[in-house]
Structure 1
């Protein structure tokens, strides 16, 4: 990792300023079940600069790494995450839905099917010897509203990650499509950089490169970049960074490199890393 920008944003040195960070979307989720420890361990092994995760609050107040409101798609259970307690969620299989491509004689890997809590993921990040980042998206709307960000702030404080990012250290960013959530996090953890996520429905008032107050990074849907590539230039002209998601197709990786985005979030971090190295 290189220097740290004024807003705490991780960036490369001036000599490599056009080299984007590569962030693993829900882990190396093309190869492994999303949001499982196995997916994140693989992303770290592949050399990803950072990891991305979605968090939701359980009925008993734990932050778990699950994208969907319901557990149906990525587990063998049914129901809404926010109405289930941690013990119930931990009793589900979160890996079998994705083909394992493993020999029948091999011992099953529990890391491939266990629910992952945010605390467990942070422990894995901090145990990694090289600096690695974690981009945490809080999902909204939810019945718990601001309690999600309050719990996130507490967890980050418990792990010593609520302070200003430092060069050569692990870093954290909070992300959300909700302006209220981003503003709430700024109040709770003013030193943790935030990312405002935008897609096709990006508010018109932000298309000139502006962002909500205190936010210095736009997380832009790659489909929006295809249609409006000048978004990157406009954000950069205001001193902002651009994180592009979810970038898996080779032509989209090439587009992001051409536009000079600051981070590429992908389900296929190894492929993106290879493309970035080839483009140097």
Structure 2
């Protein structure tokens, strides 16, 4: 059965990538959650998507120009009513909530724009501290970073994110040595693509799938998971067996 993973938590109901968003996703009954990690100016792991803070917080500037204390003084509610003052969380604060739940976690390393030296080692150390490597998928658009994770001997699953269309992505993924591909949903256009990926022993988890039509299509094609901003809708469709 296709799994439903909350993209940045349940971001249609609570501010994305905040503890509130992950709690809501867990309440909805997701199979997994996806979130993004970056480094502060003082080397702390924080959960935020954009490399700058303008879109989701009350601040301005690059994430890595703030210390952790400075970042956590920002309002990360993005103007969503009822969440004023909610902070940008650290990775540890998110894991404190999500790790005990037993769900799967996709940690995206946001190092395709900013280099963030040592990000891989810091994330692996955090995962090891919580003893959840068997439930963690590490992904990135930076494929050099993925190779570094593999060279470090991680026991977490490693997944390849990409944006532009790739010809026979399963072959590239095999050469890279990853266990899964995470393509943009608009390029998962054929059921045979899913079958090819599975034939090569890899998982395929498209992002971001929100429409009922596309969700039902992905369920019918048997993708391993969908990343979605509407986990409530996805769970309802999947559990109702809707294949329209």
What TM-score results when the alignment is normalised by the length of structure 1?
A: 0.81
Give 1:93 shift: 0.1
Q: What residue number does 1:51 align with?
A: 33
Write the deviation string for residues 150-209 of structure 1: whole angstroms up to 9, x where unpaired. Answer: 1111211222234xx2xxxxx11101111111111112242111110122243x362657
Give 1:38 shift: 0.6
Q: Does 1:114 align with 2:87?
A: yes
Give 1:232 shift: 1.1
SS in structure 1 of the partner of residue 53 of structure 2:
coil
CA contact 1:195–1:216 (8 Å) conserved in 2 = yes
Q: Does 1:69 align with 2:40?
A: no
- The alignment's C-alpha RMSD in Å is 1.9
SS in structure 1 of the partner of residue 188 of structure 2:
helix
Give 1:264 shift: 0.9
What is the alpha-carbon distance in structure 2 between the residues aligned to residue 144 and residue 210 of structure 1? 22
Give 1:142 shift: 4.6
SS in structure 1 of the partner of residue 43 of structure 2:
coil
Q: What residue number does 2:213 align with?
A: 251
Q: What residue number does 2:23 align with?
A: 41
SS in structure 2 of the partner of residue 114 of structure 1:
coil
What TM-score results when the alignment is normalised by the length of structure 2?
A: 0.92
Q: What residue number does 2:118 align with?
A: 147
Q: What residue number does 1:13 align with?
A: none
Q: Does 1:161 align with 2:132?
A: yes
Number of aligned positions between the proteins = 242
Q: Structure 1 stretches of 5 or more lacking a match?
A: 1-18, 103-107, 166-170
Q: What residue number does 1:99 align with?
A: 80
Q: Does 1:177 align with 2:158?
A: no
Q: Does 1:138 align with 2:109?
A: yes
SS in structure 1 of the partner of residue 30 of structure 2:
coil
SS in structure 2 of the partner of residue 211 of structure 1:
helix
Q: Could you say which structure has the higher helix fraction? A: 2
Q: What residue number does 1:191 align with?
A: 155
Q: Structure 2 stretches of 5 or more lacking a match?
A: none
For residues 83-98 of structure 1, the aligned pairs below 5 Å read 83-95=65-77, 97-98=78-79
Q: What residue number does 1:219 align with?
A: 182
Q: Does 1:78 align with 2:60?
A: yes
Give 1:64 shift: 0.7
CA contact 1:209–1:235 (8 Å) conserved in 2 = no
205 and 256 in structure 1: CA distance in 2 versus 1, 3 angstrom threshold? closer
Write the deviation string for residues 42-61 of structure 1: whole angstroms up to 9, x where unpaired. Answer: 00000001110011111111
SS in structure 2 of the partner of residue 24 of structure 1:
strand
CA contact 1:146–1:181 (8 Å) conserved in 2 = no
What is the alpha-carbon distance in structure 2 between the residues aligned to residue 135 and residue 76 of structure 1? 27
What is the alpha-carbon distance in structure 1 between the residues aligned to residue 174 and residue 19 of structure 2? 33
Structure 1: which 4+ aligned runs deviate by more than 3 Å? 142-146, 207-213
Q: What residue number does 1:265 align with?
A: 227
209 and 84 in structure 1: CA distance in 2 versus 1, 3 angstrom threshold? closer
